[in-house]
A and B are shown apart, each in its own frame.
Chain A
Amino acid sequence: MSDTVDATNTPGEKSGPVLAADGTPLKRSLRRALRRQKMSALLLIAPLLIFILITFIAPIADMLFRSVENEIVQDTLPRTTAILETWDSESGSIPDAPVFKALYQDIFIAQERKLHTRLGSRLNYELTGASSLFRKSGRGVGDIGEVYQDQFEDMNAFWKKGENWNDILGSDAWLAEIKSWKKSSGQAQPPFELRADIAEILPETAAFYKIFADFTQNEKNSNLYKKDPWELIYSSFYDDLTGANAARIDTYTGPGAAELSEAKTAAASFETVDYKVAFGDIDKDWVKMPIWDTIRAYSPRFTNGYFLNAVDMQKSEDGPELRPENQRIYYTLFMRTLFMSSVITISCILLGYPVGWILANLPARTANLLMILVLLPFWTSLLVRTSAWKVMLQQQGVVNDTLVWLGIVADDSRLALINNQTGTIIAMTHILLPFMILPLYSVMQTIPPSYLRAAKSLGATNWTAFWRVYFPQSVPGIGAGSILVFILSIGYYITPEIVGGTTGTFISNRIAYHISSSLNWGLAAALGAILLAVVLGLYYAYDKIVGIDNVKLGG
Chain B
Amino acid sequence: MVALTPISRKPVGFYVPTAAAAGAFAGLFVGTSQGSGLLGIIIGAVIAGVLAFVLTQLIKNEPIARWGTVIGFAIVGLLLGGIPALVLGAIFGWFFGWFSFWLYEGRYRAKVAPYLTPGQVLWHFTFRVICGAILIFLITPILVVMPLSFNAENFFTFTPKMLSFDPDGYSLKHYRDFFTSSAWQGAVWNSVKIAPAATLLSVSFGTLAAIGLSQQHVPFRRAIMAILISPMIVPLIISAAGMYFFYSRVGLQGTYLGVVLAHAALGIPFVIITVTATLVGFDRSLTRAAANMGANPVTTFFRVQMPLILPGVISGGLFAFITSFDEVVVVLFVGSAGQKTLPWQMFIGLREQISPTILAVATILVGISICLLTVVELLRRRSERLRGMSPG
Residues of A with Cβ closer than 8 Å to B? 34, 37-38, 40-45, 47-49, 51-53, 55-63, 66, 351, 354-355, 357-358, 363-364, 370, 372-377, 379-392, 394, 396-398, 401, 405-408, 430, 433-434, 462, 487, 490-494, 497-498, 508, 511-512, 515-516, 521, 524-525, 528, 531-532, 535-536, 539, 548-549, 551-554
How far, in angstroms, from A358 to B148 measured CA to CA in the complex? 31
User: B12-20, B48-56, B60-68, B139-147: which lies at the A interface?
Assistant: B139-147
Contact with A along B262-278 (1 / 0, CB 8 A): 10110010100110110
Main secondary structure of the interface of A (DSSP, over half): helix
Interface-forming stretch among B90-98, B178-186, B240-248, B286-294? B240-248
**CB within 8 Å for A491 and B236 given contacts A48-B268, A52-B231, A386-B350:** yes
Pairwise interchain contact B236-A392, C-beta atoms closer than 8 A = no
* A61: B residues at CB distance < 8 A: 242
Which of B127, B131, B277, B392 gathers the greatest number of chain A CB atoms within 10 Å? B131
A379 B369 Cβ-Cβ under 8 A? yes
**A306–B58 alpha-carbon span in the complex (Å):** 81
List 18 interface pairs A-B (beta carbons < 8 Å), by A numbering.
Answer: A45-B213, A51-B265, A52-B230, A56-B230, A59-B242, A358-B128, A380-B366, A381-B362, A383-B362, A387-B358, A398-B158, A407-B33, A407-B35, A487-B235, A493-B329, A511-B238, A525-B241, A531-B235
Tell me if B227 and A52 are in contact (CB < 8 A): yes
Enumerate chain A residues within 8 angstroms of B201, measured Cβ to Cβ: 51
Answer whether A535 and B359 are a contact pair too, CB < 8 Å, given A44-B209, A63-B241, A358-B128: no
- Given A42-B219, A372-B373, A528-B242, 7 extra CB contacts under 8 A: A49-B228, A59-B246, A354-B131, A383-B347, A384-B142, A388-B142, A391-B148
Tell me if B172 is interfacial: C-beta within 8 Å of chain A: no
Chain B contacts of A398 at CB under 8 A? 144, 148, 156-158
Whether the Cβ atoms of B156 and A380 lie closer than 8 Å is no
How many residues of chain B are within 8 Å of chain A by beta carbon? 102
State the CA gap A47–B246 with chains docked (Å). Answer: 20
Distance in angstroms from A454 CB to nearest chain B CB is 14
Dominant SS at the B interface? helix
**B369 CB to closest chain A CB, in angstroms?**
4
Whether B246 pairs with A406 at a CB distance below 8 angstroms is no
Instruction: Select from chain A the residue with minimum beta-carbon distance to B364.
Output: A384
Which residues of B from 322 to 371 have beta carbons under 8 Å from A?
A: 322, 325-326, 328-329, 333, 343, 346-347, 350-351, 354, 358-359, 362, 365-366, 369-370
Q: Which 8 pairs from chain A and chain B are nearest by CB? A: A491-B235, A44-B212, A407-B32, A388-B141, A59-B242, A59-B246, A48-B209, A63-B242
**Set B245, B366, B373: member contacting A525, Cβ < 8 A:** B245
CA distance A57 to B230 in the complex (A): 9
Residues of A within 8 A of B127 (CB): 354, 358
Contacts of A58 in B (CB 8 A): 246
B146 to chain A, nearest CB (A): 10
B231 to chain A, nearest CB (A): 5
- The contact string, 1 if C-beta is below 8 Å from chain A, for chain B 205-244, is 1101101110111110000111111110111111111111
Known A52-B268, A53-B227, A354-B127: A430·B141 in contact at CB below 8 Å: yes
Tell me which residues across on chain B come within 8 A of A392, comparing CB atoms: 140-141, 144
The answer to whether A490 and B235 have CB atoms under 8 Å apart is: yes
* B206 → chain A closest CB, angstroms: 6
Which chain A residues lie closer than 8 Å to B206 at the CB level?
Answer: 48
Output the residue of A379, A408, A552, A554 with the most chain B CB within 10 A: A379
Chain B 119-141 interface mask (CB, 8 Å, partner A; 1/0): 01001000110110011011111
Bound state CA distance, A434 and B350, in angstroms? 24
CB nearest to B266 among chain A residues? A56
Complex alpha-carbon distance, A37 and B212, angstroms? 10
- Which residue numbers of B lie inside 8 Å of A, CB to CB? 1-2, 29, 32-33, 35, 37, 120, 123, 127-128, 130-131, 134-135, 137-142, 144-145, 148, 155-158, 201, 205-206, 208-209, 211-213, 215-219, 224-231, 233-247, 249, 261-262, 264-265, 268, 270, 273-274, 276-277, 315, 319, 322, 325-326, 328-329, 333, 343, 346-347, 350-351, 354, 358-359, 362, 365-366, 369-370, 372-373, 376-377, 380, 392
A45 B209 Cβ-Cβ under 8 A: yes
Residue of A nearest to B233 (CB): A539
Contact present for A60 and B234 (CB under 8 Å): yes
Residue numbers in B under 8 Å from A525 (CB-CB): 241, 245
Question: Closest CB of chain B to A399's CB: distance in Å?
Answer: 9
Do A382 and B326 contact each other (CB < 8 Å), given the known contacts A354-B130, A498-B347?
A: yes
Give every chain A residue within 8 A of B277 (Cβ-Cβ): 552
Q: Which of A351, A381, A391 contacts B134 (CB 8 A)?
A: A351
Q: Which residue of the partner chain B has the closest CB to A396? A: B157
Contact A549–B236 (Cβ < 8 Å): no
Chain A hits for B326, CB < 8 A: 381-383
Q: How far, in whole Å, are A19 and B240 apart by their CA atoms in the complex?
A: 57
Known: A51-B265, A396-B155, A462-B120. A531 touches B369 (CB 8 A): no
Q: A56-B265, A62-B249, A397-B157 are in contact. Are A497 and B239 (CB under 8 A)?
A: no
Given contacts A48-B209, A63-B245, contact A406 B144 (CB under 8 A): no
The answer to whether B373 touches A376, judged by C-beta atoms less than 8 angstroms apart, is yes
